[in-house]
Amino acid sequence: MFLHNVRPNIVQAIRAFRIEDLMQASQEAGQHFLYANLSQAQSKQDVLEGIAQAFLFPAHFGKNLDALHDCMTDLVHKSGPQPGFVVVLEQLPDNIKFDREAREQLLDVFRDTADYWADRKVQFRCFYSFQ
């Protein structure tokens, strides 16, 4: 399983990894695989809505970065012990409505989430790509 070659609790560009391989590796490791194709998203709101739908967040999801962090950490933690996570954010927008600052803010939420799970000895790997 090639996940052993990827440091746990990291957020990184998908680069040479294939989504199918990441999904299979997460299944083999017994970890959650969360995938969001954001190719239709143009704005921060679109990105948050796309993630919420893909990750099956509850209807009360606030569609902001704080709510995203809460859903990725506290909400999941309260549901019981977790086996680990492989998250793929495919085709994040790269435009005026979702600029570099907005992307970094979003990725910071996932970096904070990786730290949260690291503190609990749970592996959390997040891979992303841009449009």
pTM of the model: 0.94
Provide the CA 129 distance to its chain's centre, in angstroms: 11
pLDDT digit string (tens) for 69-128? 999 998 888 888 899 999 999 999 999 999 999 999 999 999 999 999 999 999 999 999
Task: Find the farthest-apart pair of alpha carbons in the chain and give their distance in angstroms, rounded.
Answer: 40
Top pLDDT among 87 and 16 is at: 87
Decide: 125 and 6 in contact? Cβ < 8 Å. yes
pLDDT of 2 > 90? The answer is no
Tell me how many domains the chain contains: 1
**pLDDT for 1:** 53
CATH of the domain at 33: 3.30.370.10
Q: Which domain holds residue 55?
A: 2-130
